[in-house]
Structure 1
Amino acid sequence: MSSDLSADAVEALLQRRWPETRIEPSLARMRALMDLMDQPQTRYPVVHITGSNGKSSTARMVDELFRALGLRTGRFTSPHLESSRERICLNGEPISEERYVAAYTELEPYLQLVDAGHGIDQDSTQVPVSYFEAMTAMAYATFADAPVDVAIVEVGMGGSWDATNVADGRIAIVTPIALEHTNYLGDNVEQIATEKSGIIKDSATAILAAQTQEVAEILLRRCADVGAVAAREGVEFGVLDRQVAVGGQMLSIQGLAARYDNLLLHLWGTHQASNAACALAAIEAFFGHDSPQTIDEEVLREAFFEITSPGRLEIVRTSPTTLVDASHNPAGMKATVQTLQESFDFSRLIGVFAASSDKDIPAMIELLEPVLDEIVITTNNSARSRDIDSTAAIAVEYFGSDRVVVEPRLPEALETAVSLAEDGEHFAGVGVIVTGSVYTAGDARKLFNPDRKKPWQK
């Protein structure tokens, strides 16, 4: 393998592998890779995160808190918004192109061996290493080489057989679980919860976000079966008070060890407050060993102040206020709509919507209808983007034909949305929200280029 590869060339090679949407549920390939690589995932403690929504935001919060406390961090999340290097972060920043290329170059000989069946049980289904499995292996090796003091790892899908689950998390965070990926995880929340509970390992601490009763029972049963300690939002920890503030919300959180007040979080919504409580509880448990440890409140305030979550109701433009949001399932869209109603005072709001074909598009559009004046249906750059005509037909069912506009390309869709927002007698409080898919959010971010310091960041 040539060492003269570019990051783009590496991404092209990775993209030739099985895509993330084509899954053979097994850890056989990852275990074989880890054996060949001398088990890099065992060389640092891991905070492992699963759930249906909020995983990436929670991972970023945990990362920020660890770094504020002086730890060197690795963070693995998916999917990415703009560049695959975003998935593998060191100390809060995507890895460099040079490190990205080096990680792949070191991995490539092992990929060839596993692709050929080396280390794979003969009874296992023989398929090539997937894109996601290769990226996971690159992350684990990069964290070991850095080295990091702790890795924060988000599952790709599910839990038990997810590629990331070759690691044993000292802390397992389970964000709210809802119906998703039913073709792989099961057609009811009980089956999905059982699959996701697989990241809870022997003697770990499980930080459990508020769940429905049937999901909570499954997670608690898993904790009992493997001897893990369960910490439940609303029982052992949780949000005590939450006030909408300029640019976000002010929180009071009861942690596992102490109460923390006046935490300014520059993210909106009850779901982000819940994510923050889970992140804080995870940090207390990580340092506590036998009992949770109190975190210095001033350090905590400074860390919360710096937290961002790109693509999650992110303001990427003013005049008109334009939000980019990666919600891609009904549970996430419900949280987005509730947050729009609570935290924003739009007199006129236009939606730009594009989603993947395997998502519950009717449910998402139905949730959006009460908060949008009009909706612009478009496409994103993913091959999975839903046919625009069929999406528009769904939108007409809920909005009526007079409130639906079709623009095949996202740049023109954004221009149209801005014009619609500013149309008529509404001169203040107008806005645009771009949503429906992580891919849509990523495409929009590229166009708006919001990666600059926020006003509150140093």
Structure 2
Amino acid sequence: MPAPDAAQREAARQLDLRKQMREAEEAILARAPEHDLEPSLDRIAAVMDLAGQPQHAYPVIHVTGTNGKTSTARIIEKILRESGLNVGRFTSPHLHHLRERISLGGQPVSIERFLDAYADILPFVEMVDARSAADGGPRMTFFEVLVVVAYAAFADAPVDVAVVEVGMGGGWDATNVADGVVSVVTPVGLDHQHFLGDTLTEVATEKAGIIKPGAITVSAPQADEVIEVLRARAEEVGADLRLEGRDFGVLTRDVAVGGQQISVRSLAGDHTDLFLALHGAHQAGNTALAIAAVEAFLGGGEQPFNDDVLRSALANVTSPGRLEIVRRSPTVIVDAAHNPHGAVALRQALEEEFTFTRLVGVLAILKDKDAVGIMEALEPVLDHVVVSRSTSPRSMRPDELGQLAGEVFGEHRVTVVEALPDALDLAAELADEGGVAGGVLATGSVTTAADVRLLLGVESA
């Protein structure tokens, strides 16, 4: 039998890598999920010690908040990459596959790089698991392991800077073993109350834990009690707090085809007539925050940024699953809004930037979320809702969600459909009743947005 040629050998190698990746994913996913955790930095700190502290091999821009974290992180990453830097980005959750959470050079980490980093850190993870078990404690969680993989992959690349989004909270979040030279706080609201607390002060106190000594902190507009917490933390550790609305912010904003035209006052100067390829006033705010973060990182907030670099970055930035148009005729929009605060921003963007004659919602919401609050926020813009479930095991049962929806929208505006593909088909039919300007909005969770993207053949993220 003739020896396999180079192409055949490479195909066999890629097949083996995919098999190894599936096995690694299964092992990681078998750990406690990110919504089932024991708040502590002890386990991940022990692993990082054993691994040689890879998270200190590069500067970090650390992003926390309740809504807008992923979009803001992606905008920061895009601007830094346009500036010529090699950037690592860690965000969560993912839409379609684990590797999306770890980005190198603007792309999900390759299978080979992921496996190399995982192989490097796995012995240390197993050592810490064994120590924890001996003391009656838990194994490291799914999220903790992914954070270690990300920090190891960034050190190995190596990256010039890592943009890191917290998973939940801030102070005890696994990502907080890194020390951000710039910390970013997106709008803070109530979410994950069972971990973070029932008041804005409690939530903000946890999120302020990412503010480190000597850091520059940039914050979106916040409620007064949140500002007080951030100010107190900054004074405590000697950080420099810059606030949107006082030190930087959006000057002008106009709706444009495919996005919006904005002008921004940043920390070191004004940037005018920038086209942003994202919809919604909240994305304009995220952009002002991102520009401030980049200026804080590159010039301490004192050096004006190059407008040509900004124009190139913002015109090409993407945020999959966030007010994203994934189909035409009828227009189908997916959005990952999963709490009332995010749903309000979504509603406002729909009211300002779209002119649907009939908009039908496809709603699938996780059972531990404020479903009524989400639906009340969206009620003014939805003519009808089709209630279903996503592929998440945490998705609320359609009959239960349908009952709540009936109380918000009125039973005549609600249809319950068990299977999401059938729900999407029905919503498209109902939207067509509005003519060429009918539309469908699929929302309620990240999983809902991801499932609809897959159903419509959109898989890249």
Residues 401-412 of structure 1 aligned to structure 2 (within 5 Å): 401-412=411-422
Instruction: Note if contact 1:48-1:154 (Cα within 8 Å) is conserved in structure 2.
Output: yes
Does structure 1 residue 276 correspond to structure 2 residue 290? no
Does structure 1 residue 433 correspond to structure 2 residue 444? no
Q: Distance in 1 between matches of 2:219 and 2:407?
A: 38
Does structure 1 residue 392 correspond to structure 2 residue 402? yes
Q: Distance in 1 between matches of 2:123 and 2:289?
A: 39
TM-score, structure 2 as length reference: 0.94
Q: Which moved more, 1:144-153 or 1:108-117?
A: 108-117
Quote the residue 1:447 is aligned against. 455
Does structure 1 residue 333 correspond to structure 2 residue 343? yes
Q: Which ranges of structure 1 fall in alignment gaps of 5 or more residues?
A: 454-458
Deviation at 1:102, TM superposition (A): 2.1
Q: Distance in 2 between matches of 1:150 and 1:449?
A: 33
Aligned-partner residue type, residue 245 of structure 2 = G
Quote the residue 2:250 is aligned against. 239
- The alignment partner of 1:170 has SS state of strand
Q: Distance in 2 between matches of 1:104 and 1:207?
A: 33
Does structure 1 residue 358 correspond to structure 2 residue 372? no
Quote the residue 2:204 is aligned against. 193
Q: Distance in 2 between matches of 1:34 and 1:451?
A: 33
Deviation at 1:399, TM superposition (A): 1.6
Q: Distance in 1 between matches of 2:408 and 2:363?
A: 14
Deviation at 1:7, TM superposition (A): 1.7
- The alignment partner of 1:428 has SS state of helix
Of 213, 222, 233 in structure 2, the residue corresponding to residue 222 of structure 1 is: 233
- The alignment partner of 1:281 has SS state of helix
Q: Which moved more, 1:361-370 or 1:315-324?
A: 361-370
- The alignment partner of 2:180 has SS state of coil
TM-score, structure 1 as length reference: 0.95
Quote the residue 1:209 is aligned against. 220
Deviation at 1:23, TM superposition (A): 1.1
Instruction: Note if contact 1:68-1:303 (Cα within 8 Å) is conserved in structure 2.
Output: yes
Aligned-partner residue type, residue 440 of structure 1 = T
Q: Distance in 1 between matches of 2:240 and 2:205?
A: 17
Q: Distance in 2 between matches of 1:386 and 1:278?
A: 34
Deviation at 1:121, TM superposition (A): 11
> What is the CA RMSD across the aligned residues, in angstroms?
1.6
With over 3 angstroms needed to count, the CA separation of the structure-2 counterparts of 1:121 and 1:216, relative to structure 1, is farther
- The alignment partner of 1:397 has SS state of helix
Q: Distance in 2 between matches of 1:23 and 1:162?
A: 10
- The alignment partner of 1:25 has SS state of coil
Quote the residue 1:166 is aligned against. 177
Deviation at 1:292, TM superposition (A): 2.3
- The alignment partner of 2:139 has SS state of coil
Quote the residue 2:390 is aligned against. 380
Does structure 1 residue 148 correspond to structure 2 residue 151? no
Give the % identical residues: 50
Deviation at 1:3, TM superposition (A): 8.0
Deviation at 1:8, TM superposition (A): 1.8
- The alignment partner of 2:124 has SS state of helix
Instruction: Note if contact 1:286-1:292 (Cα within 8 Å) is conserved in structure 2.
Output: no
Aligned-partner residue type, residue 307 of structure 1 = V
Q: Deviations over 1:297-335 (max 9, x none)?
A: 111111110111000010000011100100000000000
Residues 27-426 of structure 1 aligned to structure 2 (within 5 Å): 27-117=41-131, 126-289=137-300, 291-423=301-433, 426=434
Deviation at 1:6, TM superposition (A): 2.3
Aligned-partner residue type, residue 334 of structure 1 = V
Q: Distance in 1 between matches of 2:458 and 2:288?
A: 27
- The alignment partner of 1:89 has SS state of strand
Deviation at 1:428, TM superposition (A): 2.3
Q: Distance in 2 between matches of 1:361 and 1:321?
A: 24
Q: Deviations over 1:221-273 (max 9, x none)?
A: 11111000111000110001111111111110001001000111111111111
Q: Distance in 2 between matches of 1:317 and 1:170?
A: 40
Instruction: Note if contact 1:5-1:101 (Cα within 8 Å) is conserved in structure 2.
Output: no
With over 3 angstroms needed to count, the CA separation of the structure-2 counterparts of 1:4 and 1:93, relative to structure 1, is closer
Instruction: Note if contact 2:17-2:111 (Cα within 8 Å) is conserved in structure 1.
Output: no
Aligned-partner residue type, residue 437 of structure 2 = G
Q: Distance in 2 between matches of 1:23 and 1:428?
A: 47
Deviation at 1:443, TM superposition (A): 0.9
- The alignment partner of 1:117 has SS state of helix
Aligned-partner residue type, residue 276 of structure 2 = L
Q: Distance in 1 between matches of 2:340 and 2:50?
A: 41
Deviation at 1:137, TM superposition (A): 0.2
Q: Distance in 1 between matches of 2:328 and 2:302?
A: 42
Q: Distance in 2 between matches of 1:338 and 1:3?
A: 45
Q: Deviations over 1:413-433 (max 9, x none)?
A: 11110011112xx32211000
With over 3 angstroms needed to count, the CA separation of the structure-2 counterparts of 1:241 and 1:138, relative to structure 1, is same
- The alignment partner of 1:49 has SS state of strand
Deviation at 1:452, TM superposition (A): 6.8
Deviation at 1:19, TM superposition (A): 0.8
Q: Deviations over 1:136-186 (max 9, x none)?
A: 000000000000000000000000000000000000000010011111111
Q: Deviations over 1:282-307 (max 9, x none)?
A: 11111113x52211111111111011
- The alignment partner of 1:6 has SS state of helix
Aligned-partner residue type, residue 424 of structure 2 = L
- The alignment partner of 2:436 has SS state of coil
Q: Deviations over 1:99-124 (max 9, x none)?
A: 22222222221111010117x996xx
Q: Distance in 2 between matches of 1:380 and 1:257?
A: 45
- The alignment partner of 1:207 has SS state of strand
Instruction: Note if contact 1:252-1:260 (Cα within 8 Å) is conserved in structure 2.
Output: yes
Instruction: Note if contact 2:18-2:111 (Cα within 8 Å) is conserved in structure 1.
Output: no
Q: Distance in 1 between matches of 2:438 and 2:217?
A: 42
* Larger relative helix fraction: 2
Quote the residue 2:22 is aligned against. 8
Deviation at 1:4, TM superposition (A): 8.4
